[in-house]
């Protein structure tokens, strides 16, 4: 599937201990949020996890149409690339979201993906189906040094709670130019540490 970059890490492990799904929400490939996500996934892979990156900008999908078909216990009826994302979400033990800020909110690609999570909200809060416990994180990057991340983190947190995942955060302000996050000497190391920690914490949930 386009937009799906899978890495199956062995490095001495007979089987992956954890499946970590990274979701890149930037429309710009190789931008600051994606570089941080890649570092987080590398940290997870270093702990023996299986990691997969989904690049939303390379997928074809719409937001939720509020058809309410999922309230009857159906899967989402929209037939687009989100079908593959749902499959990976269902497997994930750890979910890491990454997005730049747009008007101090999430990218449109990330918000559309979150809105398509209505099917999980219905399963949990209407149909009372409890999914597995997970760990989650949100990586957000803003152009302004004093960027306010509140409006971006709130929907990510609510969505991750719907997925039965607590949320860690990494936020960086003052990085607009592509690759400028590399000017922060600690940014990638902090992201790698996040990925590594989430795998360790994910193991303890099961």
The Cβ-side half-sphere exposure at 114, using a 13 Å CA radius, reads 25
Examine the pLDDT at 29 and tell me if it is beyond 80.
Answer: yes
Total domain count for the chain? 1
Examine the pLDDT at 70 and tell me if it is beyond 60.
Answer: yes
**What does the pLDDT average to over 62-70?**
93
- Domain with residue 184: its CATH number is 3.40.50.360
**What does the pLDDT average to over 53-76?**
93
The pLDDT, as a whole number, for residue 135 is 97
The model's pLDDT over 87-108, given as tens digits with 9 standing for 90+, comes to: 999 999 999 999 999 999 999 9
Could you list the residue range(s) of the whole structural domain that residue 127 is in? 4-203
The pLDDT, as a whole number, for residue 3 is 65
Q: Extract the tokens encoding 47.
A: 């702990």
Query: Exposed (0-12), middle (13-18) or buried (19+): which is 101, by Cβ within 10 Å?
Result: buried
Among 148, 157, 135, smallest CA distance to 19 is for 135
What are residue 134's DSSP bridge partners? 165
The model's pLDDT over 111-160, given as tens digits with 9 standing for 90+, comes to: 999 999 999 999 999 999 888 999 999 999 999 999 999 999 999 999 99
The pLDDT, as a whole number, for residue 11 is 47
Examine the pLDDT at 10 and tell me if it is beyond 70.
Answer: no
Among 38, 66, 39, smallest CA distance to 53 is for 38
Q: Which helix (H) or strand (E) holds 162?
A: helix 150-162
Examine the pLDDT at 26 and tell me if it is beyond 80.
Answer: yes
76 near 119, Cβ under 8 Å? yes
């Amino acid at each position: 599937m386009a937009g799906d970059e899978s890495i199956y890490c062995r490095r001495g492990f007979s089987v992956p201990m954890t499946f970590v799904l990274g979701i890149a929400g930037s429309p710009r490939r190789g931008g600051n949020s994606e570089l941080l996500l890649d570092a987080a996934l590398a940290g997870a892979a270093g702990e023996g996890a299986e990691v997969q990156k989904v690049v939303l900008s390379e997928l074809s999908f719409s937001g939720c149409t509020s058809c309410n078909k999922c309230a009857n216990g159906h899967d989402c009826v929209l037939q687009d690339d989100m079908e593959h994302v749902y499959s990976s979400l269902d497997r994930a033990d750890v979910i890491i979201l990454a997005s730049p800020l747009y008007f101090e909110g999430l990218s449109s690609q990330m918000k559309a993906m979150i809105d398509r999570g209505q099917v999980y909200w219905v399963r949990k809060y209407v149909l009372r189906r409890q999914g597995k416990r997970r760990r989650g994180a949100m990586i957000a990057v803003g152009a302004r040094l004093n960027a306010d991340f509140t409006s971006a983190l709130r929907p990510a947190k609510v969505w991750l709670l719907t997925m039965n995942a607590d949320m860690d955060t990494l936020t960086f302000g003052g990085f607009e130019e592509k690759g400028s996050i590399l000017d922060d000497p600690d940014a990638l190391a902090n992201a790698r540490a996040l990925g590594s920690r989430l795998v360790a914490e994910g193991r303890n949930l099961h």
